[in-house]
Structure 1
Amino acid sequence: MWTFYLSLTFLLLILTILPKIQHSHWVFRVPEFGKIQITFFTVVTFILGFFVSHSEYLWYFQGLLILMFIHHSIILIKYTPLYPVKKFSQKYKSSDKVHFISVNVYQFNTEYDRFIELIEKCKPDMFLTMESNGDWEKALRKLEKEYPFQHKVTLENTYGIHFYSKLKIESSQTHYFVADDIPSIEAHLKTEDGFSFVFFGVHPPPPSPTEEETSKERDGDLLSAAKRITE
């Protein structure tokens, strides 16, 4: 049990340290996607520590787990209701709230009606689908009456992307920032009360053994979109 406890502790430590190393290979970037799971297993391992043999070194490792938990919690708490959000007063040219849904539908998923029911239930002002191919585009046609403004990039490589809006799209374009088969959408919209804003929809490839060996394309796509936003 002590060996198992130590193995878990060192594995969690490695997964915590790897993203801190400035390297684009997927080995260093993948742990960034598992912070919730890493935090959960950190707590589980800490509790497990009270059931292992009482080694004189136990609290050195328990203290290490506490530090790792604090480290991950500082990052994760920003995405919870516990974190205070700065509220800005509405300006003269501001519009009402805009409700938006973004979903990775998974290209090979055929539960089209389930997604359509979600949209009909939540009634967002606009929504974005990722990994949507030709079959998904056909299935979503029944929503086009309710969402008369669209920008579609239909692909069969799991990087298709479709944008539907109740708000008027004054202009839109497709960007290929890092590769000619990985699109991003830029749409200029206007609300009913005349407030204009720009929407960007991106779906960069994640660094992983089955996608991209490094995070260069993901980082490049996000940085290119950010640069475009500031222009």
Structure 2
Amino acid sequence: MSGIWKWLIQGSAVFYVASAILPLLKSDAWWIRGWDFPRLQFAIFGLATMLLLSFTTPGWPLHKLALVLFLAVSLALDAYRIVPYTPLVRLESLPADSDDPARKLSIFVANVLQDNDDPQPLLRLLAELSPDMVLLLEVNGRWMDKLSDLRSSYPHHVGQSLENTYGIALFSRLELIDARVRHLVEPDVPSIHGLASLVSGEVVEIHGLHPKPPRPQSGGTTERDAELILIAREARDSEHPVIVMGDLNDVAWSHTTRLFRRISEMLDPRVGRGHFPTYPVALPFLRYPLDHVFHSRSLRLVEFKRLPDIGSDHFPVYAEFSLEPEGRLSQESPKADEQDHEEARDTLRRAE
């Protein structure tokens, strides 16, 4: 084996190990948090590297043994992150027991891509699915004009169109109570909050979010993380069933999202079902789950699915829930400890 090939394999091993360990650092630096995203792809890369290192390089010198050990530990870390989002584990969001249509709520969530000029695929999909509630992200003035016909089918709506890719709009055929736009952390990043009245007369608390992603120009993810913490606290303390939805610019298995779920005590329909990757549409082998719908234990799942391409760089997602407060004890939610709460307080302090 040539020296170049040997060094290439060893360099790949070091790269993968670094990619698996860096997300363990509780840092909000964009170049650290960015490693959270393609963990499945990295795990496949790491496994291939370990096999190549084991079977194509001669002998077992100490440095090779050390690399294989580090690769194995890194693969175990990635398995810990990823396996919950596969059918290999127990479902977290349990299937609905009731079939009462008056206590059901269906939700459609889509990042439309501000530069996408064709709303027709989106409108056709909405006509086909006829969800009770539609949350759209990256809506600007042009998009709001093109979506004006939705108002006849969805008479209740709230939102803010912006030209910075953080416009947001919620359309609902269910009555919205005290629904409003808020700017939780950053003045140019709106979110939507309120109550939705089901046909039964019961209400569900709704939060629609689209925080900024990790990127060099923002320096870090403190603001994104703080927004999630604020909503986690509101969800935990709410007297109503709660749904948090949107393009969170974070993956299901990241430390930030898992902290959000422990503090909020909310459930993820993906756990035990699959990754349902939603971004980027154009790169099938690099996709990961950015678009989410979390729910409290009083809600049970009727359906969760990723939807077809609508011309955006994100796939939409669809979720339907059944309000079953009497079955609340049958679903286990994540729980936060004091260390989690201290980390949350520190995040909020840094975001001030």
Aligned partner (choices 78, 85, 108) of residue 79 of structure 1: 85
Counterpart mapping for 1:7-18 below 5 A: 7-18=11-22
Write the mapping of 1:57-206 to structure 2, written as runs, cut at 5 A.
Answer: 57=61, 58-86=64-92, 87=94, 96-206=103-213
Per the TM alignment, residue 94 of structure 1 is displaced from its structure 2 partner at its CA by 10
Structure 1 spans left out of the alignment, 5+ residues: none
Cα distance, 1:214–1:135 mapped onto 2, change above 3 Å: same
Match of 2:58 in 1: 54
How has the CA–CA distance of structure 1 residues 111 and 81 changed in structure 2, closer, same or farther, with 3 Å as cutoff? farther
Matches of 2:126 and 2:199, distance apart in 1:
21
Cα distance between partner residues in 1 of 2:128 and 2:68: 46
1:50, CA displacement in angstroms? 5.0
After TM superposition, give the deviation of residue 156 of structure 1 in Å: 0.7
Deviation track 1:22-72 (CA, whole Å, cap 9, x = no partner) reads 222111111112222212212332343355322414454334323222221
Cα pair distance change 1:228/1:5, threshold 3 Å: same
Instruction: Select 2:36's aligned residue among 28, 32, 36.
Output: 32
Distance 1:5 1:228, change over 3 A: same
Q: Distance in 2 between matches of 1:18 and 1:133?
A: 36
Cα distance, 1:100–1:9 mapped onto 2, change above 3 Å? same
The answer as to whether partners of 1:95 and 1:195 remain within 8 angstroms in 2 is no
Query: How big is the shift at 1:84?
Result: 1.0
Q: 1:53 to 1:180 in 2, by over 3 A?
A: same
**How much does 1:199 deviate?**
0.4
Percent of aligned positions that are identical: 26
Structure 2 contact 191–210 (Cα < 8 Å) conserved: yes
SS of the residue corresponding to residue 205 of structure 2 reads strand
CA RMSD across the alignment: 2.4
Structure 2: tracts of 5 or more residues without a match: 239-352
Higher relative contact order (CA 8 A, sep 6+): 2
Q: Could you tell me which residue of structure 2 aligns to residue 221 of structure 1?
A: 227
Equivalents in 2 of 1:110, 1:36: separation in Å? 32
Alignment partner, residue 349 of structure 2? none
What letter matches 2:22 in structure 1?
L
The 1:187/1:71 distance shift into structure 2, 3 A limit, reads same
Corresponding pairs, count: 229
> CA–CA distance in 2 between the matches of 1:84 and 1:222?
25
Which position in structure 1 is the counterpart of 2:49?
45
8 Å CA contact 1:130–1:161 kept in 2: the answer is yes
Distance in 2 (alpha carbons) for counterparts of 1:28 and 1:18 = 6
Residues 68 and 126 of structure 1, relative CA distance in 2, 3 Å threshold: same
- Distance in structure 1 (CA, Å) of the matches to 2:154 and 2:88: 35
Question: CA separation in 1, counterparts of 2:86 and 2:76?
Answer: 15
Contact between 2:144 and 2:161, CA under 8 Å: does it hold in 1?
yes
The 3-state SS of whatever aligns with 2:153 is coil
